[in-house]
Amino acid sequence: MPEYGLPLIFFLIAFFYASVGFGGGSSYLALLSLFLTEFEEIRTLALLLNLIVVSIGTFMFIRNDVFKWRLFWPFILSSVPLSFLGAQLQLSEKVFFLVLGSALLGASFFIFIQLLQRSHSERTLRTYKKLTIGSGIGLLSGISGIGGGIFLSPTLNLIGWKDGRTVAALASIFILFNSVAGLGGLIASNAFKLNIPFAFPLILAVAVGGTLGSFTTNKKLNAQTIKLFTAVLIAYVGLRIVLLHGWGWHI
């Protein structure tokens, strides 16, 4: 894929993801890993792009009264400090890419499992379970540079917690808080690196795509299609990263 075509691809990702309340961070990260080699720059830009899109989506959920703080606070409270700390971990380039690749493969697996589920009955999660889930995913999101929604949403849907719209609202606000915490951790550890000439067109693209997607109901490509596209993409890139940085194999 030529580098000059990236803004259009990122615009489309932001538009489609925002149309169903997500940020597209996993897809940004997957694509950036094909063009950038410095992992601190990948983490910084992926979190920044994610933050821009989910900020718009979160505003829409709050405006439409879908946001339920009494249900969400344990996930957010436990995830934010762990995401902040995870972003400060000083990993070697090889370890980072192996963690990133493994996380993407794991996320794709859970998305495929979720797609195979037909229906489920809602169940209640006790506060300590919410805190545990939030802290674990928060740490992983900080380390990998993903806002965490790609891990949180499939997990909660597999468990059968609440309806899809409530889970989507939580995922949006979860990504927002953890993206901010992750960026804060990178800044605190002097690991915030942004190539402005490379990043600016992508920032503009996702801002426009995210805004249009948040106010547009997409009739052609539904949430299931987006999830399948994401699962296939991050599975390929995750496998490519693991093989390349673990064994030096190119695919």
Domain that holds residue 58: 3-247
| Count of domains for the chain | 1
Residues 181/87, Cβ–Cβ less than 8 Å: yes
Please report the pLDDT score of residue 129 as a whole number: 93
Please report the pLDDT score of residue 229 as a whole number: 73
Please report the pLDDT score of residue 20 as a whole number: 67
Please report the pLDDT score of residue 120 as a whole number: 59
Please report the pLDDT score of residue 80 as a whole number: 93
Sign of CA dihedral 19, 39, 183, 68: positive
- pLDDT tens-place string over residues 44-101: 998 899 999 989 888 877 877 777 888 899 999 999 999 999 888 877 778 877 887 8
Question: If we measure between CA atoms, which residue out of 189, 151, 230 comes closest to residue 43?
Answer: 189
Residues 185/83, Cβ–Cβ less than 8 Å: yes
Could you list the mean pLDDT of each consecutive 10-residue stretch along the chain, which spans 251 residues?
Answer: 79 83 77 81 89 87 79 93 88 79 83 73 84 93 80 81 78 88 89 91 94 66 67 81 80 66
pTM: 0.81
Question: If we measure between CA atoms, which residue out of 79, 60, 11, 4 comes closest to residue 35?
Answer: 4
224's tokens: 């299931």
Contact partners, residue 247, CB within 8 Å, separation at least 6: none
| CA gap 134, 88 in Å, rounded | 18
